[in-house]
Amino acid sequence: MNYPDRIKEGILLHRRIDSFTDKHEIVRKSKLRLMPEFHKYSTVIVDVFYDHFLAANWEEYSSVPLRKFCDSVYALLQKNAGMVPVRSAFFLHYMTTNDILFHYRSIEGIGKALRGLSYRARFKSNMHLAHLKLQKDLDLYKAEFDIFFRDLQKEVAKPRE
């Protein structure tokens, strides 16, 4: 699909963030802790854990309240639904209807999100249990997220090459 320039910029930024995240030592540390129980799904779980810390501490990162931000994202997705790949449309509808982004701020919301991911996993994932690991080691994951996110903010602020 031929996307408008702003969407292309967003896609490139997202890829840049993913690449940086995949290579970051702290993220690897978080993943390795989960690897024995969750195997390859530890990558997805860490992403969700880190999303939790972003949502739970949103006011540290944005002057826009989380509720208002989520509503604007949902509205933007609905407005541009025709540009979303077909295989993503169902999930985006589910995300909007169930207010997933806003509920990421709580452990319960993360548990629900991980259960949903577990149902869609192609192999046994145990993701439905991962929120218990987050609860158990909350301070450890939060400290790792804080280091990673500061580094990510610096990386994103750099001019693109």
pLDDT tens sequence across 40-52: 999 999 999 999 9
H/E element, 114: helix 107-120
Above 90 in pLDDT, residue 69? yes
| Inside any domain, residue 96 | yes
Which residues lie below 8 Å from residue 94, measured CB to CB, with a gap of 6+? Answer: 100, 116
Work out the mean pLDDT of the chain and round it to a whole number: 92
| Inside any domain, residue 13 | no
How many domains is the chain partitioned into structurally? 1
Q: Using 50, 70 and 90 to split pLDDT, how confident is the model at 90?
A: confident
Q: Which of 159, 144, 132, 135 is nearest to 37 (CA)?
A: 132
Q: For residue 58, what pLDDT is reported?
A: 97
| Inside any domain, residue 28 | no
Above 80 in pLDDT, residue 1? no
| Inside any domain, residue 160 | no
Q: Using DSSP, state whether 98 is helix, strand or coil.
A: coil
Q: Using DSSP, state whether 64 is helix, strand or coil.
A: coil
Q: For residue 88, what pLDDT is reported?
A: 83
Using CA atoms, how far apart are residues 27 and 21, in angstroms rounded to an integer?
Answer: 7
User: Which structural domain, as residue segments, surrounds residue 122?
Assistant: 34-148
What does the block give as tokens for 135? 């609860």
Using CA atoms, how far apart are residues 131 and 87, in angstroms rounded to an integer?
Answer: 26
| Inside any domain, residue 113 | yes
Q: Using 50, 70 and 90 to split pLDDT, how confident is the model at 144?
A: very high
| Inside any domain, residue 17 | no
| Inside any domain, residue 82 | yes
pTM value surpassing 0.85: yes
